[in-house]
Structure 1
Amino acid sequence: MNTLYEVQQLLKRFGIFVYLGERLLDLEIMEAEIKDLYFSSLIDKEDLHKALSIIRNEINIEKNRKKSGEENGK
């Protein structure tokens, strides 16, 4: 697992589809769902860590993108 798409496919295997229309919220919900899958013993620790790393990286990218947009808009 190396991409957000692959994380989405992992969630999809368990019938979890996340789309709220706002990327940052989507990522935060995905993070919570991945943790729930792990605590329910449905995914292993390796998948948990890989998925969380990918999601958190995407969250940082999104926050930086929003921050840059706010700075450019002022």
Structure 2
Amino acid sequence: MEASIRTMSDVRALLKRFGAIIYTGDELGDLDLMEDELAELHHWGMIETSEYMAACMVIRQRRMELDK
């Protein structure tokens, strides 16, 4: 699958494909959980490296926005 992941909505949609809906009310905590879930999906070969890298980049960008 092509890595067309550019927004947090795209990351959430990717995770939702595997039944993972992450919302705790703590956005930074959610980002941590999303990264963990993505790492597991990648480890088990359920998502391609390009998807994993694109999603992680979006999460890192969002984390930087929140740190400002």
* TM-score (normalizing by structure 1): 0.83
User: Over aligned residue pairs, what C-alpha RMSD do you find?
Assistant: 0.6
CA distance in 2, matches of 1:47, 1:20: 24
Residue segments in structure 1 that go unaligned for 5+ positions in a row? 65-74
Question: Where do 4+ consecutive residues of structure 1 move more than 2 Å?
Answer: none
Are 2:28 and 1:40 aligned? no
Question: Bigger relative contact order, structure 1 or 2, given CA contacts below 8 A and separation 6+?
Answer: 2
**Unaligned stretches of 5+ in structure 2?**
none
Question: Structure 2 matches for 1:1-74, cutoff 5 A?
Answer: 1-64=5-68
User: TM-score, structure 2 length as denominator?
Assistant: 0.90
If you compute each CA radius of gyration, which structure gives the higher value, 1 or 2?
1
Q: Percent identity?
A: 33
The structure in which a higher percent of residues are helix is 1
